[in-house]
Amino acid sequence: MFQFSPELAIGGTSGAEDELATSVFELALSSVVEAIDSGALRSAEPLTVALTMWSATHGVVDMLLMGFAFDDATRQMLVDSVIDTVLAGLATNDPNL
């Protein structure tokens, strides 16, 4: 779950990083399953949905870490736009939720 393999990480790794990243992703995946089961997200394979969300959010984070001279309002607008767009694409649009 890392952009760079652990052996390339600055300062090395302790070995706990993969376990921590996996447990965090599993928590996100369980939330996706709950959202699909409740009808908030459209019926889809949960792992695909979780990986889609993970990819989108990590993509915007990677871009923000590149150091572009965005002001705080622009950074926040970009983050909000990515989250809103991904959720809109996955939502069921059920007005009762």
Q: What is the pLDDT of residues 46-79, one digit of tens each?
A: 999 999 999 999 999 999 999 889 999 999 999 9
The alpha carbon dihedral of 73, 79, 34, 23 has a sign of: negative
- The answer, as to whether pTM is greater than 0.85, is no
Domain presence at residue 49: yes
User: Which domain does 22 fall in, by range?
Assistant: 16-90
Domain presence at residue 63: yes
Domain presence at residue 83: yes
In degrees and rounded to multiples of 5, residue 43 shows phi and psi of -65, 120
The count of domains in the chain is 1
Q: Is the pLDDT of residue 12 over 70?
A: no
